[in-house]
Amino acid sequence: MDYRRTEIMKIVDLLKTTGIELNGAVNTKEEAIDRMVELMASGGNIADIEAYRAGVYQREEEGTTGIGEGIAIPHAKTDAVKSPGLAAMVLKDGVDFASLDAEPVHLIFLIAAPDTEDNVHLEVLSRLSMLLMDDSFRDDLMKAETAKEFLSVIDKAEQAKFPEEQEEKKAEEAPAERGYQILAVTACPTGIAHTYMAAESLENKAKEMGYTIKVETNGSGGDKNVLTADEIAACDCIIIAADKDVKMARFDGKPVLMTKVANGISKAEQLITEAVGGKVPVYHSRGGEEERMADDGEGLGRKIYKSLMNGVSHMLPFVIGGGILIALSFLVDGANAGGADFGKGSPMALFFNTVGNTAFGMMFPVLAGYIAMAIGDRPALMPGIVGGLLAKAGTSVTLPEEAWVSSGFFGALIAGFVAGYLMVLIKKLLGRLPKSLEGTKPVLLFPFLGILLMGVIMIFAVNPPIGAFNTWLNDMLAGMGESSKILLGAVLGGMMSIDFGGPFNKAAYVFGTAAIASGQIDIMAAVMIGGMTPPIAIALATTFFRNRFTKSEKQTTITNYIMGLSFITEGAIPFAAADPLRIIPPCVLGSAVAGALSMAFGCGSRAPHGGIFVIGIIENAPMFFLALAAGAVVSMAGIVLLKKPLPADKR
């Protein structure tokens, strides 16, 4: 099934014959609702009838569901519903339902929806409304003599109104019989936006070109739509559009095309054309189920970037979850603001602070561990984690403990790469040992040598100079004049919009999260506001200058408002991919303005993510909003100046 949507809720699947009454006789709206609830309950969809009835009445208090033309569609979304359902009643004599057109209601459909994220009631409501606009459809329902005939009328109307569903069903069933021509895997470091946008782009383009495709998404919620062994065996080619590790051993002996996740979004047609061209090299596994993303044919820079992103993708959940919990401790402890125990002044604040700091403290060891693992496989994970812990602690055998200085984020980065390549070297050196000692490597030799050598390297070679650099950097940031901080805010804000989630964006974001650990919360605010600006700017442009955008682009307006306010910069990617020269420069400029203003206004964020949802713990929140609005308006103005109005037939 498609990873983005649930199965289509057809009306004939939700409406049972026991829930249909063709000769209803009621005198009031209340009697009609009560009778409809009884019909709904007869189908077994309701766990608590009275709670569901109360939900229906509550919805009516918000506004009548009598939509006019003799139709009413009352509904309720509540925990009292076990499974989605419909009930229907025909009223030959009609009833006063307080309809919008003040006319009697002759046809009532009642919707029951469970309280889930699926919003089934909205889908069914939309479907019913479209069908009921047809006068002849309503007349046929009113004339039905049996419940089966009533359902038959609906079934025929659905098939006629939504013929594409039949085609989709056939298309989905066909690959199950003959296999998919193309398989793909998409994955980005955060597993949020790029992953799914690349998957959608590949699916849409393959369908348009007449090829069958299945896409596995390695997202933040785990692997979805996972490719099976049979599908892999039957396919013609596999596309890996990923910027992080992907399990590769399963593709042994198949043509595999490897590329960046961004190419999955912007170059889908080119990738599919190459995949079916018959010239993609066959991938040969090095063996082992844990084998990850292959490096064959990649430059050193690309390998380093993917290793770094593997660390960042595993680090971010600790940073975001822990950081928000720490921020909540300050919010709860607001009465103690400025005190020595700020964030720990009450039991609840202390709880949030302790748990948050524990998670946040895992940032460096997880970053280093998974960078190392991307390079040296599983044996490198352990020395990488130890190196990250030593970077965090700032240990030194030449200085007393009170003089230790953490090498921090930069030390953890170095530890990750050193541990990875160190383990590659150790495995090569130990490869000449007798086979009788093979079993001692993973449980004795790798851990012992890895920890020993990482300890020597971190304590004597990395921590002293990098710790000194961190001290200098923190002192420099703390001592920056107002103009210097404004410049820093402009640079970081602009970086967030150069590639919308790519290397520049991630570099600025990771710098901001590392700054939180050293108390530089103004840096994180500038980074967050820079990432929020582009989607909001595009949403403003599609709202007020609609003649410059296509119909499909204008349909993303609400989505971009939501993504921007949620600090999901990737909402701007489809626009940037379609028209980079007219979208990216204005977005960079607007984000730079927003970041600079955030610094100038003294805004700060102890939360590393969340956007508007953490506004309660943003320092100087009103000015944060003002800076965001200013940056978004600047970007919008640049976009509309560069983009000319489209011809009427393209809007």
Write down the pLDDT at residue 296: 45
Report the percent of the chain where pLDDT is more than 70: 86
Query: What is the DSSP secondary structure assignment for residue 90, as one 8-state letter?
Result: E
Rounded mean pLDDT, 200-208: 87
Confidence (pLDDT) at 421: 93
Residue 504 identity: F
Q: With bands split at pLDDT 50, 70 and 90, how would you rate the model's confidence at 1?
A: very low
The pLDDT of residue 291 is above 60: no
Question: Measuring CA to CA, which residue among 281, 283, 278, 362 is closest to residue 319?
Answer: 362
- Examine the pLDDT at 650 and tell me if it is beyond 70: no
Q: What are phi and psi of 283, to 5 degrees?
A: -85, 135
Confidence label for 384 from pLDDT (cuts 50, 70 and 90): very high
What pLDDT score was predicted for residue 503?
65
Q: How far is CA 377 from the centre of its chain?
A: 27
Half-sphere exposure of 461 (CA within 13 A, CB side): 10
Q: Is 106 in a helix, a strand, or coil?
A: strand
- In the DSSP assignment, the letter for residue 250 is G
Q: What does the pLDDT read at residue 644?
A: 87
Phi, psi of 639 (to 5 degrees): -65, -50
Predicted confidence (pLDDT) at residue 572 exceeds the cutoff of 50: yes
> For residue 466, what pLDDT band results from cuts at 50, 70 and 90?
confident
Q: Where are the alpha helices (DSSP H) in 43-111?
A: 49-62
Q: What is the rounded distance in angstroms from the CA atom of residue 98 to the CA atom of residue 414?
A: 70
- Which of 286-300, 372-386, 466-480 shows the lowest per-residue confidence on average (mean pLDDT)? 286-300
Is 53's pLDDT higher than 70?
A: yes
Query: Is residue 375 within 8 Å of 420, Cβ to Cβ?
Result: yes
Q: Determine which helix (DSSP H) or strand (DSSP E) holds 182, and give its type and residue range.
A: strand 182-187
Q: Which two tokens stand for residue 100?
A: 């919008």
The torsion angles phi and psi of 494, rounded to 5 degrees, stand at -65, -40
> At 302, is the pLDDT very low, low, confident or very high (cuts 50, 70, 90)?
low
Confidence of residue 12 (pLDDT cuts 50, 70, 90): confident
Q: Are 593 and 634 in contact (CB under 8 A)?
A: yes
CA-CA distance, 517 to 606, in Å (whole number)? 9
Catalytic residue numbers read 75, 188
Q: What is the pLDDT of residues 590-633, one digit of tens each?
A: 999 999 999 999 999 888 877 887 787 788 999 999 999 999 99
159-176 burial: b if 16+ Cβ within 10 Å, else e: eeebeeeeeeeeeeeebe
Q: Name the nearest CA neighbour of 575 among 642, 523, 623, 519.
A: 642
Instruction: Give me the pLDDT at residue 393, please.
Output: 82
Burial of 540 (0-12, 13-18, 19+ CB in 10 A): buried
Q: Which domains does the chain have, with CATH numbers?
A: 11-167 (3.40.930.10), 179-275 (3.40.50.2300), 300-463 (no CATH), 482-650 (no CATH)
Pairwise CA distance, residues 226 & 222, whole Å:
10
pLDDT range class, residue 452, cuts 50, 70, 90: very high
3-state SS of 394-405? CCCCCCCHHHCC
Average pLDDT, the chain: 83
> Of 243-252, 287-296, 304-313, which range is least confident?
287-296
Spacing of C-alpha 211 from chain mean position: 27
Helix (H) or strand (E) holding 87: strand 85-95
Please report the pLDDT score of residue 4 as a whole number: 36
266: Cβ–Cβ under 8 A, 6 or more apart, which residues? 201, 577
pLDDT of residue 130: 78
pLDDT in tens, 125-173: 777 877 887 888 888 999 999 988 999 898 888 888 777 665 555 555 5
Q: What is the band of 184 on the pLDDT scale with cuts at 50, 70, 90?
A: very high
Average pLDDT over residues 367-373: 91
| The predicted structure's pLDDT at residue 169 | 55
- d(CA 592, CA 487) in angstroms, rounded, equals 9
Query: What's the average model confidence in pLDDT over 529-546?
Result: 93
**Residue 207: its pLDDT value, please?**
87
CA nearest to 19, candidates 90, 122, 113 = 90
Please tell me the chain's helix, strand, coil percentages from 3-state DSSP, rounded to the nearest 5. Answer: 60, 10, 25
Q: The pTM is what?
A: 0.54
What the block records as the tokens of 93 is 């004599």
Instruction: Read off the pLDDT band of 6 (50, 70, 90).
Output: very low
How much is the pLDDT for 417? Answer: 94
Distance CA 325, CA 512 (A): 17
Provide the pLDDT confidence category of residue 499 given band limits of 50, 70 and 90.
confident
Q: Torsions phi, psi of 241, nearest 5?
A: -105, 95
Query: Which is higher by pLDDT, 578 or 554?
Result: 554
| 371: Cα within 13 Å, side-chain hemisphere | 31
pLDDT at 509 over 50: yes
Q: What DSSP state is assigned to residue 277?
A: T
Q: Rounded to 5 degrees, what angle do the CA atoms 398, 404, 406 make?
A: 125
Summarize pLDDT for 33-50 with one digit per residue, the tens.
999 999 999 888 898 999
Closest CA to 577 of 273, 263, 309: 263
Q: How confident is the model at residue 534 (pLDDT cuts 50, 70, 90)?
A: very high
Model confidence at 397, pLDDT cuts 50, 70, 90, reads low
Out of 116-130, 409-423, 605-619, which region has the weakest mean confidence (pLDDT)?
A: 116-130
Q: Give the per-residue pLDDT at 288.
A: 47
Name which of 274-283, 319-328, 448-457, 483-492 the model is least confident about. 319-328
Output the CA torsion sign for 428, 433, 439, 441: negative
Neighbours of 548 (CB within 10 A): 20
Q: Which residues contact 509 (CB under 8 A, 6 or more apart)?
A: 496, 527, 531
pLDDT of residue 195: 80
Share of the chain above pLDDT 90, in %: 30
Average of pLDDT values for 368-393? Answer: 90
Mean pLDDT of 212-236: 85
What DSSP line would sit under 520-582, residue for residue?
Answer: -HHHHHHHHHHHHHHHHHHHHHHHH-GGGS-HHHHTTHHHHHHHHHTT-GGGGHHHHHHSHHH
Q: Which of 155-159, 393-397, 507-511, 598-602 has the highest mean pLDDT?
A: 598-602
Q: Would you say residue 189 has pLDDT above 70?
A: no
